Amino acid sequence: MTSAISQNPMTPKPGKPWEPTLKERSQKILNFFISLGLSFVLLFTTGLNGKLGWFIAFFISFTVVSFIAEFRRAGKPAAQDSLLTSVSRFAITLAVIPIVSILATVAVKGWRGLHWGLFTQDMAQATVNDPIQNGGMLAAIVGTLIMVSLALVFTLPISILTALYLTEIKGKFTRPIRFLVQAMSGVPSIVAGLFILSSVIYPITGERTGLMGALALAILMIPTVARTAEEVLLLIPNDLREAGLALGATQWRTVAMVVVPAVKSGLVTAIILGVARVIGETAPILLVSGGGESTNFNPVSGPMGSIPYYVWKSFQLGGTEESSQRTWAGLLVLILWVLFLFTIARYISSRSQKR
């Protein structure tokens, strides 16, 4: 008998008590269909109408049905948990619906305006109401690249040094500087354009150029990069700083050789987020860049176009099917650009966390 037991050992299978049983799944499916039916009843018996009205009616029905079902199954705690879960899902859905709707609308309407000439031609010899094959976004793309690159050149040393002062030096001006950086984050973008217009263009240069646009964008980019860089630097443990000082290095040598290399990927993420923050700004660009139609590679002379200006002009001066296609195509290119930058930032951030 002992040999028989040893030859056929009974190994219990590991259980998964957290997974719903077949009965619980069937109950959830039944709750869904009951809620679906009740939502249509509410839709016809109340003042709710349209897709949004049906969504609200379904949420109310599903919440009530789930609450009653869980109360009958496991009592008041399970019913309360079901209520909070339903409210959380409703809030998440409300947050996701506008984003999905915007992306879907821009993608559906924008792809029709995409063609190869859109990236190889400018609008110097065309108007927004011309056939879509005439003219393109070359001047806007080049202008955006130049202005954002110059803004990054102005922003990078100021933002990184500000973050280092707030985290490493911690002098007597730390609190007012942190307050000013946080306050600048909430400044409307048009204020930056008006500041450059009144303090630089009118009294000094007298000309709207790409350089002026870059200065306006730099004002908006500095707080984003500085705050993100500060948060990244705060993640560095003090042990690394103390180790560098223990080896005889000065504070700045420790910062340059130990702290900054340790957060290199985080600083790259801060820069990308700053670029994504300003790349779609329209108000300051309309005021200070001039909005040129022809491709201009010189940021200090002549007006310079940008993607936001291209979208604004196609919408403002159009009114035809062709101008509408140009508007949506410009929006699609801009959104894809921003999504690309955010994707890179998330990828770099995830790699740094794994390390």
Extract the tokens encoding 83.
């209520």
CB 305 within 8 A of CB 296: yes
What was the pLDDT predicted at 20? 67
Instruction: Please tell me the pTM assigned to this model.
Output: 0.76
Q: Read off the pLDDT of each residue in 199-216 and give the average, rounded to a whole number.
A: 91
CA dihedral 143, 146, 149, 155 (to 10 degrees): -80
Higher pLDDT, 83 or 140: 140
Q: How confident is the model at residue 1 (pLDDT cuts 50, 70, 90)?
A: very low
| Euclidean distance between CA atoms 82 and 65, whole angstroms | 10
Q: 304 pairs with which residues across the strands?
A: 290
306-351 confidence digits (pLDDT tens):
999 998 888 888 778 888 888 899 899 988 888 888 888 777 767 6
144-154 confidence digits (pLDDT tens):
999 999 999 99
Q: Which top CATH class is 138-354? A: mainly alpha
Where do the structural domains in the chain lie, given as residue ranges? 21-112, 138-354
